Amino acid sequence: MIPVKPFALLTATLASWFLAALPALAQDGPQPRLQTTPLTLGMHVIQAELAVTPLQQQTGMMFRKSMGTNEGMLFVNDEPGLRCFWMRNTLLPLTIAFIADDGTIVNLADMKPLDESSHCSLKPVRFALEMNQGWFAKRGFKAGARLRGVPFGSR
């Protein structure tokens, strides 16, 4: 076994973190459209882009200038956790729905463009859905409403 000096280990660790962050630091435009899945809420069908990788989730809706009326972005995680979002480099006003495994909306939060305030789930969740700001309110949906679709084990 070759002993590793603590400084060398720290330097290697910091270098690997920096290299992993480079794609996000270089992000200066919207990411390409992601694969979509249909979700339903009441009689409404949402075409939700699926943000599943760390880079897709980190980039999210950054730099996008528009989003269709019934389009959104669904952030999908493997494990439940308290999820927090901000609007760095995000040009559109959005409403985020934090969603339980069965598709039930736990809480909603309106988010302002380019604002770095955190908006968090009230309890651990695996899913968050970003829509144009006001989409849920205009249709009368609040916490407790239930989305349906493959990610939630329903159709």
On whether residue 79 sits in a domain, the answer given is yes
Question: For position 31, what pLDDT does the model report?
Answer: 85
On whether residue 5 sits in a domain, the answer given is no
Could you tell me the residue range of the domain that residue 112 belongs to? 36-152
**DSSP sequence for the chain:** -----HHHHHHHHHHHHHHHHHHHHH--SPPPPPPEEEEEETTEEEEEEEE-SHHHHHHTTTT-----TTEEEEEEEEEEE--EE--TT--S-EEEEEE-TTSBEEEEEEE-TT----EE-SS-EEEEEEEETTHHHHTT--TT-B-BSGGGT--
CATH code at position 49: 2.60.120.1140
On whether residue 19 sits in a domain, the answer given is no
**Span 30-63, pLDDT tens digits:** 888 999 999 999 999 999 999 999 999 999 999 9
Question: For position 19, what pLDDT does the model report?
Answer: 43
On whether residue 7 sits in a domain, the answer given is no
Question: For position 27, what pLDDT does the model report?
Answer: 58
On whether residue 29 sits in a domain, the answer given is no
Question: For position 16, what pLDDT does the model report?
Answer: 43
On whether residue 64 sits in a domain, the answer given is yes
On whether residue 65 sits in a domain, the answer given is yes
On whether residue 84 sits in a domain, the answer given is yes
What does the alpha-carbon distance between residue 51 and residue 44 come to, in Å, rounded to a whole number? Answer: 21
Question: For position 93, what pLDDT does the model report?
Answer: 98
Give the chain's residues under pLDDT 50. 1-26
What is the number of domains present in the chain? 1
Amino acid in the structure at residue 19: L
